[in-house]
Amino acid sequence: MANPSLLILAGDGIGPEVMAEVKKIIGWFDAKRGIKFDVSEGLVGGCSYDAHGTPLTDETMAQAQEVDAVLLGAVGGPKYDVLDFSVKPERGLLRLRKEMDLFSNLRPAQCFDALADFSSLKKDVVAGLDIVIVRELTSGVYFGEPRGIFVEGNERVGINTQRYTESEIARVARSAFELARKRNNKVCSMEKANVMESGILWREVVQEIHDKEYPDVQLSHMYADAGAMQLCRWPKQFDVIVTDNLFGDLLSDMAAMLTGSLGMLPSASLGLPMENGRPKALYEPVHGSAPDIAGTGKANPIACVLSFAMALRYSFSMLDEATRVEKAVEKVLADGVRTADLMGPEGGVPVSTSQMGDAIVAALDASL
């Protein structure tokens, strides 16, 4: 049987730094567990534009379609702000999502016990938090037509169109229900059915899929603005939240900050199964390229490490190994090891990006 294949696209800013720590863990699995990955690397974002004049080459796009999973670091930076919209670094990431048809974006928001004091919310509100937001990723207002900036009369007008088909809603709803069955069997669907026709359709289709295929899962509906309020008031009332592209973008970033640091949160973007049964998949940390700290050794690699753990779980069905990585991260945090973003009043053991990676590898060694 062929080794699982992984395409690494480290990207820009802190992307290469945090990805270097994931490579250590990949190497650990090879050396200590006899699990070998066929790893290839490519460029995406600003670094690809610098080298090729495009944020993603056709060759790299084709390679991403062939491998079992893509692991991405981060894209963008202020030096690329002057570029035309069509070649900005983010267009490379959007092209990957669109052409791989990665319609289901899983964003966990988990608050480790050791970091409960880092949230801006009270400790009892966030301690033990473990929710997942399932965001529809390939349709909605970010992709709908017509779109653009046009001249009407004597002024410009900006247009973006919110558009969803029944099938697009149905497949992301199924993704959420399937995930809920593996967790606490509870889904909350969020939209704006009170003011948007697309929201009415969203609610109707999610309800239909539930009633016909997943009646065992507890389903509730909530307006997205009320959902944002409830995430700040009592987030532990939720288990799986499913929502559209725009609201998912906003709500998942809000949920991310409940945990105290964007540097802690992974994500998975999943599509339909390939011939080998594995879903097309891209894994990436929620954080951006953080150009202000790039090259300083201050970046937190945990989100990227946990994204690799999600790849182990969802693409390679290596559930025990995924848990092993997650437990190693948990142990390191419990031991007080802290990158700059995690240093609080109570102190801790300050470490660099590389030292955090080394600490996680040491915890993996201790798990054997």
The one catalytic residue in 68, 249, 280, 331 is: 249
- Whole-number pLDDT of residue 169: 98
In the residue annotation, 142 being an active-site residue is answered as: yes
The one catalytic residue in 12, 164, 192, 280 is: 192
Which H or E run contains 1? none
The token pair that represents 162 in the structure block? 């919110």
Q: Contact 235/131 with Cβ under 8 angstroms?
A: yes
- Whole-number pLDDT of residue 202: 98
The one catalytic residue in 12, 80, 88, 142 is: 142
In the residue annotation, 283 being an active-site residue is answered as: no
- The 38-42 sheet, strands edge to edge: 38-42, 5-11, 69-74, 279-285, 266-273, 104-110, 130-136, 240-243, 186-191, 218-223
Which residues on neighbouring strands pair with residue 39, listed in sequence order? 6
Q: Which CATH number fits domain 1-111+261-368: 3.40.718.10, 3.40.50.10490, 3.40.50.300, 3.60.130.10?
A: 3.40.718.10
Q: CA-CA-CA-CA torsion for 167, 169, 170, 172, nearest 10 degrees? A: 120
Give the total residue count for the chain: 368
The one catalytic residue in 101, 253, 335, 358 is: 253
Q: CA-CA-CA-CA torsion for 22, 27, 30, 35, nearest 10 degrees? A: 10
Q: Contact 96/67 with Cβ under 8 angstroms?
A: no
- Whole-number pLDDT of residue 343: 82
How far apart, in whole angstroms, are the C-alpha atoms of residue 366 and residue 306? 18
Superfamily of domain 130-258: Isopropylmalate Dehydrogenase (3.40.718.10)
The domains of the chain are located at 1-111+261-368, 130-258
Are 1-111+261-368 and 130-258 in the same CATH fold?
yes
Contacts (Cβ under 8 Å, ≥6 apart) of 232: 121, 254, 258
- Whole-number pLDDT of residue 258: 84
How far apart, in whole angstroms, are the C-alpha atoms of residue 137 and residue 139? 6
Task: Give the number of other CB atoms < 10 A from CB of residue 291.
Answer: 17
The token pair that represents 217 in the structure block? 């899962």
pTM: 0.90
- Whole-number pLDDT of residue 127: 86
Closest CA to 256 of 160, 88, 131: 131
In the residue annotation, 117 being an active-site residue is answered as: no
φ and ψ at 280, to 5 degrees?
-60, 135
In the residue annotation, 216 being an active-site residue is answered as: no
The one catalytic residue in 225, 236, 327, 335 is: 225
- Which stretches does DSSP call E strand in 239-354? 240-243, 266-273, 279-285, 337-338, 349-350
In the residue annotation, 249 being an active-site residue is answered as: yes
Would you write out the chain's pLDDT as a tens digit for each of its 368 residues? 789 999 999 999 999 999 999 999 999 999 999 999 999 999 999 999 999 999 999 999 999 999 999 999 999 999 999 999 999 999 999 999 989 999 999 999 988 888 888 787 888 888 889 999 999 999 999 999 999 999 999 999 999 999 999 999 999 999 999 999 999 999 999 999 999 999 999 999 999 999 999 999 999 999 999 999 999 999 999 999 999 999 999 999 888 878 777 778 899 999 988 878 888 999 999 899 999 999 999 999 999 999 999 999 999 999 999 999 999 999 999 999 999 988 877 778 899 999 999 999 999 999 99
How far apart, in whole angstroms, are the C-alpha atoms of residue 297 and residue 317? 32
Using DSSP's 3-state secondary structure scheme, residue 106 falls into: strand
- Whole-number pLDDT of residue 177: 97
Q: Which residue has the tokens 């288990």?
A: 239
